[in-house]
Structure 1
Amino acid sequence: MTDENNKQNHPAPYGPGQYPPNFYAQPYPQDDEIDLRELFKIIWDGKWWIIAITFVFAVASVVYSLSLPDIYKAEATLAPTEEAQGQGFGEEVSGLASLAGINVGKQQVDKVTMAMEILQSRQFIKNFVEKHDILPEVMAVKEWHRPSGKLVYDEEIYNPETKEWVREVEPPKQPEPTSWEYVNAFRDNLVVEKDEETPGLIIVAINHQSPIIAHRWTQWLIEDINDHMRARDIEEAESSMEFLQEELGKTNLSSMQQVFYQLIEKQTQTIMLANVRPEYIFQVLDPAVVPEEKDAPARALICIIGTFLGGFLSLLVVFIRHLVRNNREA
């Protein structure tokens, strides 16, 4: 009786894999929970590390931002002229050419897009730098001295007194920059884009350490692209006239001769208009001016980002030190 009573009062334990009904409902001790008090204590214990690292980054960001030269931006707003909006031969000339048996194709060239692409092309920029002899201003300017208005060159790259390139480079490079180098450098400071606020208008801008040079180059770019597109159209019109005159001499039909005369007249008008209009492709609506305020760098933003980066890294260092110390003690 005694054994049976003991079995009733003390039932047998659960078998393998069997647990009380409320076993999973019981809370586990959460060892991995973040204890805010412990977190604050870790930060407080490492406060000098945080202050020191953040201070170093803050000072470094200030020094770095002050070492950057001021960059000035001169920009002009342009509008396409009637010639720029014209498409190739034009509908009237294309019809006349078809009557004469000349296939000019149906694909029409957008001269505005063409001019924008040429402005940024390697050949155009190379010719621009060589024409105006501005290689030192592209590759060797260190800063602009505001009181005197003179450029300060990096003498480790270029000697302005002897006008010699003295930079140290590894072969096969030469002390004087190649067109590959200065074209890429020029492109970094060139802006050619369509105006987002006013469709149809074009923005051309130059960034440079000198506001005077930025203004001057912007003007030169506009003049040179107009001259380039004018010369291109004149050359095309002259070539077309030579071809038309050859075809005119091969036909005896009066009707065909009349068509050829009209085509030649159109090409003559193209040449005449190209020569009398200085703003051939782009008309300046808002000309570039010498900027009085810098466009870059944003020194305050650099300092803020540097300080926040220092603060984040300092916290990371403090937590890593805490984990390493706990592992050693364990």
Structure 2
Amino acid sequence: MNDNNPKAPLTPLNYEPNRHPDYQDDEIDLRELFGIIWQGKWWIIAITFVFAVGSVIYSLSLPNIYKSEATLAPTEEASGGGLSQMAGQLGGLASLAGVNLGGNTVDKTTIAIEILKSRAFIKSFVEKYNILPEIMAVEEWSRQSGLVYNKEIYDPATDEWVRDVEPPKQPRPSSWEYVQVFKNEVLSVARDDETGLVTIAVNHKSPKIAEQLTTWLIDEINNHMRERDIQEARRSLEYLNEELQETALSNMQQVFYQLIEKQTQTIMLANVRPEYIFQVIDPPVAPEQKAKPSRALICIIGTFLGGFLSVGFVLLRNLFRKSKDVA
């Protein structure tokens, strides 16, 4: 065998794999990194322990929040059935007389949901049932003592608001304040696009108040939509009666009589239907278990956060120490 042959095959004795030039440095850096973390293990343990204890204390300080929800189904009137189908037969004639009998692009269910979340409806609801202290001043609830109000905000003995706020705010919360709290923290409305079912949920520190508010909201939105349609039908009746008196053509008189009959039916059926827009499928109940907070999750997140921050602290501390030594 000729050792000087440049085309001689490689053997395990003369073959070395190509190593990345930084491979050895990376291995040393990893060992150094773990060494730094091990040297600062007491810092890591201490900081993680502080975060763990702090997260436990914080989670225990949070009050329980209970959720009461109800499942609703739109009625025939809300979904386009019932009188709305009858309105379709007279829609062309009604448009000639200037009367709106339905057929809008937005159905009544969507309108009812938006009204339920509107500022005007919430303001009227809170004022009607006088629930402002229950929305803005409840600190906690327990089965033994019931509702506990924050005495720095509201005095239940004298029914006075005593909170200390800076102008332009007043001790008594304005509608701007409590409507925002009601929409963001108390009320939740969701609609299933596939089934059309609507879910109304109320979050509160008291399970009984959560159930009561949910029941009141369902009643109020049904009553609001009923009164809205009745007033619209009465205005249409006034207009139709005036036009009927001024019309001498028998064909037009027949049209007006049919439209008057339709509006009269609307008022009659609206008055006899307690569940005018939403029919209750699953009524609200007082929950026995809290919906939030998830104290275990808060503690786990707090502990992991403390661990990450402690490792970062140890690494930065070592980096500053090296910079100081070099300087």
Q: Does the 8 Å contact 1:230/1:280 carry over to 2?
A: yes
Shift of 1:29: 6.3
Shift of 1:109: 3.4
Structure 1 residue identity aligned to 2:119: R
Q: 1:27 to 1:62 in 2, by over 3 A?
A: closer
Alignment TM-score, normalising by the size of structure 2: 0.88
Runs of 4+ in 1 over 6 A off after TM superposition: none
- The answer to whether 1:268 aligns with 2:261 is no
Shift of 1:106: 6.8
Aligned twin of 1:9: none
> Which residue of the other structure, out of 42, 46, 51, is the alignment partner of 1:52?
46
- The answer to whether 1:309 aligns with 2:302 is no
The 5 A counterparts of 1:135-154 are: 135-148=132-145, 150-154=146-150
Q: How many Å separate the matches in 1 of 2:318 and 2:305?
A: 20
Shift of 1:108: 3.7
The 5 A counterparts of 1:11-30 are: 28=21
Unaligned 5+ runs, structure 1: 1-24
Q: How many Å separate the matches in 1 of 2:282 and 2:219?
A: 14
Alignment TM-score, normalising by the size of structure 1: 0.87
Q: How many Å separate the matches in 2 of 1:152 and 1:106?
A: 50
RMSD value, Cα: 1.9
Aligned twin of 1:158: 154
Deviations 1:195-214 (CA, angstroms, capped at 9, x unpaired): 36x62100001000000000
Q: Report the structure number with the largest CA radius of gyration.
A: 1
Q: How many Å separate the matches in 2 of 1:282 and 1:296?
A: 28
Aligned twin of 2:282: 286
- The answer to whether 1:321 aligns with 2:317 is yes
Q: How many Å separate the matches in 1 of 2:271 and 2:76?
A: 14
Structure 1 residue identity aligned to 2:26: E
Unaligned 5+ runs, structure 2: 1-17
Shift of 1:163: 0.9
Q: 1:178 to 1:37 in 2, by over 3 A?
A: same
Shift of 1:40: 1.5
Structure 2 residue identity aligned to 1:200: G
Q: How many Å separate the matches in 2 of 1:75 and 1:43?
A: 50
Q: 1:26 to 1:306 in 2, by over 3 A?
A: closer
Aligned twin of 1:200: 196
Q: How many Å separate the matches in 2 of 1:233 and 1:101?
A: 18
SS of the aligned residue for 1:285 comes to strand
Identity between Structure 1 and Structure 2 (%): 65
Aligned twin of 2:212: 216
Aligned twin of 1:43: 37
Structure 2 residue identity aligned to 1:137: E
SS of the aligned residue for 2:26 comes to coil
The 5 A counterparts of 1:63-82 are: 63-82=57-76
Q: Which range moves more in the overlay, 107-116 or 260-269?
A: 107-116
Structure 2 residue identity aligned to 1:92: Q
Q: 1:26 to 1:289 in 2, by over 3 A?
A: closer
- The answer to whether 1:111 aligns with 2:108 is yes
Structure 1 residue identity aligned to 2:154: Y
> Which residue of the other structure, out of 131, 135, 140, is the alignment partner of 1:134?
131
> Which residue of the other structure, out of 230, 234, 238, is the alignment partner of 2:234?
238
SS of the aligned residue for 2:144 comes to coil
SS of the aligned residue for 1:156 comes to coil
Structure 1 residue identity aligned to 2:284: A
> Which residue of the other structure, out of 115, 118, 122, is the alignment partner of 2:119?
122
Q: Does the 8 Å contact 1:54/1:307 carry over to 2?
A: yes
Q: Does the 8 Å contact 1:88/1:108 carry over to 2?
A: no
Structure 2 residue identity aligned to 1:242: E
